Amino acid sequence: MQIRQYRTDDEEGWLRCCVLSFLHTAYYDNVLQQKKTYDHPSIELVAVDNGKIVGLIDIECEQEIKTICVQCSSLGGMIWHLAVHPDFQQQGIGRQLLLEAEKRLKARNINQLEAYTRDDEWVNSWYQKNDFHQVNHYLHVFMENDELNGAIESSLEKVRPISCFAHYTGEKEEMIKKKFGRVHECRCYRKDI
Q: Is 113 helix (H, G, I), strand (E, B) or coil?
A: strand
Query: Residues of the chain with pLDDT > 70: what percent?
Result: 100
What is the model's pLDDT at position 32? 94
What is the model's pLDDT at position 186? 98
Residues 6+ apart with CB under 8 A from 123: 25, 117
What is the model's pLDDT at position 137? 98
pLDDT tens digits, 5-30: 999 999 999 999 999 999 999 999 99
pLDDT band of 175, cuts 50, 70, 90: very high
Query: Residues of the chain with pLDDT > 90: what percent?
Result: 99
What mean pLDDT do residues 88-113 have? 98
What is the model's pLDDT at position 132? 98
Please give, one letter per residue, the 3-state secondary structure of 35-78: CCCCCCCEEEEEEEECCEEEEEEEEEECCCCCCCCCCCCCCEEE
What is the model's pLDDT at position 188? 98
pLDDT tens digits, 24-75: 999 999 999 999 999 999 999 999 999 999 999 999 999 999 999 999 999 9
Residues 6+ apart with CB under 8 A from 8: none
What mean pLDDT do residues 180-189 have? 98
Please give the full DSSP string across 140-170, using - where no structure is assigned: EEEEEGGGGTTT---SSTT----EEEEEE-S
What mean pLDDT do residues 92-107 have? 98
User: Distance between CA atoms of 84 and 32, rounded to whole angstroms?
Assistant: 16
pTM check: above 0.75: yes
What is the model's pLDDT at position 107? 97
Every domain of the chain and the residues it spans:
2-134, 139-183
What class does CATH assign to 2-134? Answer: alpha beta
Tell me what the pLDDT averaged over the chain comes to: 97
What is the model's pLDDT at position 111? 96
What mean pLDDT do residues 141-158 have? 94
CA Rg value for the chain? 18
Beta pairing class for 76-84 and 112-117: parallel
